Amino acid sequence: MHYGIDGKIYLWMANKTTGENGYYLLNESTNSATSAFNVTDGGLVSGFIKLDN
C-alpha cells in the first residue's frame, strides 16, 4: 500500500519479527526508502492523511 502526499510517495511496511510498523519515504532517484515514522504502541497502521491548518 502506498500514499502520495505533497509529491512524495510513502510505502507502508509492517514486520512482526523486527517490530516495524509504519511508513517509509521513497527516494525515486536512488530507488531507496528511509523510515518516515514508526508506530510502537497499538495496532497496525492502516493509513494516514495530511491535515491542513
3-state SS assignment for residue 25: strand
* pLDDT at residue number 39: 84
Residue 1 has a pLDDT of: 62
Confidence bin at 2 (pLDDT 50/70/90): low
Residue 33 in contact with residue 25, Cβ under 8 Å? yes
- For the stretch 9-53, pLDDT in tens is 988 888 888 878 888 999 999 999 999 988 887 777 777 778 886
Handedness of CA 36, 26, 19, 21 (dihedral sign): positive
35/20 Cα distance (integer angstroms): 10
Per the prediction, the chain carries an average pLDDT of 84
